[in-house]
Structure 1
Amino acid sequence: MSFRTAQVDPLIVRRAHIAVYVRVLTSRPHRRGGNVVSIDSGSGLANATIQQRLVPVRLFYDFLMEEGLRESNPVGRGRYTPGRRVGGRQRGLVPRLTKLPWIPSEEQWLRILEVARREPVRNRVMLALAYDAALRREELRSLRTDDIDPAHRTLRVRAETTKNRLERVVPYSAPTGVLLSGYLAHRAGISRARGPLFLSESRRNHAQPLSLWTWSKVVRRIALAAGVERFSTHTTRHLCLTGLARMGWEVHAIATFAGHRHTDSTLQYIHLSGRDLADKLSRGMEHIHAWRIQTLAAANTTPCGAGS
């Protein structure tokens, strides 16, 4: 639904009209149909997508207000604190939802690895590097031959390929190094030229840099074959960072490894790992356990036969 199809003059649109628009976005059939990958994605747009759709509408009405054509903006903005009236800000039409990243279970991950074992060496090394170094899809696809330091088993993730334009150097494991060495020998049979690390081997784009979409299709094929439909190109990053959190890495170390500018993004992996909560539960249970043992020990000091 748009204001044109609803035959509503933008100059007289109210919050009720915007609410109807939001309602349509949250309830209409999903255009991807059979490609639904989560329970709540069968109809309507995701929360983040709806927020993006509302931004240009909000900016449009900001413009109308600046031009003196309207006195108010019908699209809510800012945060709202329930029960706080004095100094409170206007509540938005759509609440912002913050969900923890999805990661596969151990059994699902093993199924994915079993399928990946049958993939060509290029795909296997890409999957290994994506997991080992917690690389984003663009960072992985943009790796060049001179970004690799085999002597120290590190990768240079160039600033222009990152989400927040922060360059970083990340390590990879010895098994991945063996796999990478095998791929480099294989790549030499495709092209000996320096440049993009991962090359296409199709007839149409032979020896050309691998595209983002090709890699996405590879991962999607692996996910479907393993029966883990939610697995995506970003899942390996989530899995790696969650593993680091579970191993006790400090939040700033994880943020540096992941290339996060702020630790707010990193904290979701700490929460997902349940590390802090597990530690507190363990300490609490140890205290309770000690108290119970002391109580039983005290009970054992009762003279034999007492109470019998």
Structure 2
Amino acid sequence: MDAYARGLAEYLVLCEREAVDPLSAGRTHVGVFVRELASRPHRRGSNIVSIESGVGLANATIQQRLVPVRLFYDFLVEEGLRESNPVGRGRYTPGRRASGHKRGLVPRFTKLPWIPSEQQWLDLLEVARCEPVRNRLMLALAYDAALRREELCSLRTGDLDPAHRTVRVRAETTKNRLERVVPYSAPTGVLLADYLAHRAAISRARGPLFLSESRRNYGQPLSLWTWSKVVRRLALTAGVERFSTHTTRHLCLTDLARMGWEIHAIASFAGHRHTDTTLQYIHLSGRDLAEKLKSGMDHIHAWRVRMLADTGAPDGVVGGVSR
């Protein structure tokens, strides 16, 4: 809500600057807002490593800024204060004019999630080795169960079943309000046992699993921001700056795709409502393309071997058959 409020506030400030009444603004005025977002200097300056050149907000950020503006005009239409919404929505396919889709103001880029290389992962684990047991357990669970940040920090003592090594991710903590039960590994189970013994010295009360150990919030539930700061510190120390609280989820789901899990099984494990979201991990793993390449190359290799064998056959014999 805060992010949407900031996005709408930026649009209203632009309308005031351009002396345009937001209630009567048209698609052209919204386009001015988009152009301003696309040309705004990047907060990191020009020395950034990305497709963008350091000028303008990222495509995903611009899309996020447009959402509250679209919702604002949806509200005005519902209230009868406008007849139409100047912010386009839906998907657009170039060349298909009769498709019925409406072209949006900004093309939507779909990028594959970033995952660390094996060496970067090992570097991060080497740094994490010196962390308190709570942080090591959180990192292990985040990977093992492909947990989002809120799902991880919202775990309660009753959500874990050590006998079967499973964790229940409650619907109210998930992004799409889908509850799921996922397993975790035996090494993570050992960390859990160590942490529960450590947690008993902080509080024996049932409730939030991960507790703060700072002097100011001792024994209170660990906040999302505290966990983000922990992961950020680990990433900077390991020299893997792109590593975030969501990277472990991306890495786990990509590894499952590499191991040959079916897409529906990965979607169920991740808590995806639609398999379209899961497909990005299949693409990122390169599994399907690797299998097709291997089968194709095997066929080409066999064909070349036969051709080479034919070049050494006696005159009048090709592939062991007389002409």
* TM-score, normalization by structure 1: 0.90
1:203 maps to 215
Determine the C-alpha separation between the residues in 1 that align with 2:79 and 2:111: 38
1:287 maps to 299
2:110 maps to 98
Moved more, 80-89 or 91-100: 80-89
Report the residue type matching 2:201 in the other structure: G
Moved more, 140-149 or 196-205: 140-149
Instruction: Report if the CA contact (8 A) 2:155-2:210 is conserved.
Output: yes
Instruction: Report if the CA contact (8 A) 2:212-2:219 is conserved.
Output: yes
1:1-308 residue pairs with structure 2 within 5 A?
A: 2-10=14-22, 12-31=24-43, 40=52, 42-64=54-76, 72-302=84-314
2:4 maps to none
Report the residue type matching 2:127 in the other structure: V
Give the C-alpha shift of residue 29 in structure 1: 2.7
Determine the C-alpha separation between the residues in 2 that align with 1:98 and 1:159: 27
Determine the C-alpha separation between the residues in 2 that align with 1:187 and 1:257: 28
RMSD (Å) for aligned C-alpha atoms: 2.3
Where does structure 1 lack aligned partners over 5 or more consecutive residues? Answer: 304-308
1:306 maps to none
**Residues 93 and 191 (structure 1), Cα distance of their counterparts in 2 relative to 1, 3 Å cut:** same
Matched pairs, number:
303
Give the C-alpha shift of residue 193 in structure 1: 1.3
**Residues 87 and 251 (structure 1), Cα distance of their counterparts in 2 relative to 1, 3 Å cut:** closer
Report the residue type matching 1:153 in the other structure: R
Determine the C-alpha separation between the residues in 2 that align with 1:151 and 1:283: 43
Determine the C-alpha separation between the residues in 2 that align with 1:288 and 1:239: 33
Determine the C-alpha separation between the residues in 2 that align with 1:211 and 1:10: 38
Report the residue type matching 2:309 in the other structure: A
Determine the C-alpha separation between the residues in 1 that align with 2:49 and 2:167: 32
Determine the C-alpha separation between the residues in 1 that align with 2:245 and 2:70: 32
Report the residue type matching 2:220 in the other structure: Q
- 1:107-142 deviation digits (Å, cap 9, x = unpaired): 111111111111111101100110011111111111
* TM-score, normalization by structure 2: 0.86
Determine the C-alpha separation between the residues in 1 that align with 2:277 and 2:94: 25
Please state whether the residue corresponding to 2:168 is helix, strand or coil. Answer: strand
Instruction: Report if the CA contact (8 A) 2:46-2:55 is conserved.
Output: no
**Residues 78 and 51 (structure 1), Cα distance of their counterparts in 2 relative to 1, 3 Å cut:** same
Determine the C-alpha separation between the residues in 2 that align with 1:37 and 1:162: 31
**Residues 294 and 103 (structure 1), Cα distance of their counterparts in 2 relative to 1, 3 Å cut:** same
- 1:207-257 deviation digits (Å, cap 9, x = unpaired): 111000000000000011111111000000000000000000000111111
**Residues 38 and 141 (structure 1), Cα distance of their counterparts in 2 relative to 1, 3 Å cut:** farther
Where does structure 2 lack aligned partners over 5 or more consecutive residues? Answer: 1-12, 316-323
